[in-house]
Amino acid sequence: MSTDTDFHHHEMGDPYASARETTEGRVYTVTGGDWDTILDDVTHDERIVINLGPQHPSTHGVLRIVLELEGETVTQARAVIGYLHTGIEKNCEYRNWTQGVTFVTRADYLAPLHNEAAYCMAVEKLLGIEVPRRAQVIRVLLMELNRVSSHLVALATGGMELGALTAMTSGFREREEVLHLLEFLTGLRMNHAFIRPGGLAQDLPEGYGQKIRDFLKVMDHRLPDYDKLLTGQTIWKKRLRGVGYLPLDGCLQLGVTGPVLRSAGLPWDLRKVEPYCGYEEYEFDVPTSTDADCYARYLLRVAEIHQSLRIVRQCLDKLEPGPVMVADKKIAWPAQLTIGPDGMGNSLEHVRRIMGQSMEALIHHFKLVTEGFDVPPGQVYVPVESPRGELGYHLVSDGGTRPLRVHAREPSFVNLQAMPAMCEGGLVADVIASVASLDPVMGGVDR
């Protein structure tokens, strides 16, 4: 019996995505594609197909890799993704512009502040507004702290996957220092939603300067330990040198960015080539290498941690008193919050102050929080340099209080496509090192 679905299935001519009409419009059901037939051509007795993942300590997340092996040599490698899909981009269409921040911060969960910054800068570009200088400097400060924590996770998980367990315990110990500091500054360890369209949720707490200086002291003391532990270590070197080779032309053809591209010799860093948030005022270097292998990527990430701490020091000198949110009351999300004695909700004094203002102010406050602000129609693309490469947000507005479309150009997603080029022809053990050196975050890949 022919159904409506079959009709659309043939009409669309797409063997992988059948469609049906619903009250919300046309809905597509995407099937497994060619995975059902991929194994048919494996007729050789001496070849074997194995699944690495989707949840395996060495897959750097919920990633599945289908490997065709001839002995220990990889003859074909394919990445299977989608196990961590959360519909973040689509969800943003059903929330106002400010609420979108709480979604995008959960995409690449190791670089939440970069996602927030890129998304908010795109909203601000649509609005045609400039955020206050203090907010710009604090954004840079937070993004660089976030870069440090992200690279520490790359070193820690990469070490764990290769059996260097001391690298893992050290890396996570130092990351914990960063997360403690971020919790003090923003209120949360991850998924901060601290950067908002128009500025920041609130100013930094009292005593932030001393906290940051104490953190810098700890990092200055501990970072040289990584060179003692790993950089000159014979086993670490032999495990990574010449492995996962991806030269510059391969990177450019595949759209690879971030430390992987810089390990092939191109000093492409958006903070230098297309500065944003006032990065042109900061002094820092862009480390590069021409070795284009896993060891070079490891060295670059350690070097980038040093450069990020250098930028954090400069941020402390640049922080001058001032507002952290635009003055336009039609956009500025109410940020003057004081917490009650129970740690929940606003203090009574603050509630009295809001209620004591004019009725119009109270109505405006209510409408701004429930409905949000209108954003002029148009579309923009704003990229930032995340720990993994170019992270960009393409936003489309139809003039309403919600985005018409939100799309992230996610560096983990693009970089992961280089995995077969790096692994095929090598040993199965080197697949682990190669994937670890790409440092993909599956929350960002699958979104």
53, part of any domain: no
Q: What is the pLDDT of residues 341-392, one digit of tens each?
A: 555 666 677 677 767 766 777 777 777 778 888 889 999 999 999 999 999 9
4 C-beta neighbours (distance < 10 Å), count: 10
| Calpha distance 326→123 (Å, rounded) | 13
Which residue bears the tokens 């720990």?
A: 387
Model pLDDT for residues 186-218, shown as the tens digit of each residue: 888 889 888 998 888 888 888 888 899 999 999
Q: Per the domain annotation, does 80 fall within a domain?
A: no
Residues in the chain: 447
Largest interatomic CA distance in the chain: 82
Any domain includes 19:
no
Is 154 among the domain residues? yes
CA distances from 40 to 43, 229, 265 (A): 7, 46, 40
Residue 408 lies in a domain: yes
- CATH number of domain containing 234: 1.10.645.10
> How many domains is the chain built from?
1
Distance CA 411, CA 260 (A): 11
The three-state secondary structure class of 392 is strand
Residue 100 lies in a domain: yes
Q: 313 is written with which tokens?
A: 């020091």
Q: Which domain holds residue 242?
A: 88-331+373-446
- Per DSSP bridges, beta strands 389-397 and 47-52 are unpaired
- At 19, the amino acid letter reads A
Bond prior to 54 in cis (omega within 30° of 0): yes
Residue 410 lies in a domain: yes
- Please check whether residue 344 lies inside any domain of the structure: no
* Secondary structure of residue 18 in the 3-state scheme: strand
Q: Report the alpha-carbon distance of residue 90 to residue 255 in Å, rounded.
A: 24
The pTM for the full model equals: 0.85
Q: pLDDT by residue for the chain (447 residues), tens digit each?
A: 444 544 444 445 666 667 788 877 787 776 655 655 655 555 556 788 888 878 777 777 788 888 888 888 888 888 888 888 889 999 998 988 988 999 999 988 999 999 999 999 999 999 988 899 999 999 999 999 999 999 999 989 888 888 888 888 888 899 999 999 998 888 888 898 889 988 888 888 888 888 999 999 998 888 888 888 888 888 888 888 888 888 888 888 888 998 999 999 889 999 999 999 889 999 999 999 888 889 999 999 999 999 999 999 999 888 888 888 887 777 776 655 555 555 566 667 767 776 776 677 777 777 777 888 888 999 999 999 999 999 999 999 998 888 999 999 999 999 998 888 888 888 888 888 898 899 889 888 988
Residue with tokens 């679905």, as numbered in its chain: 5
Give residue 220's Cα distance to chain centre.
Answer: 25
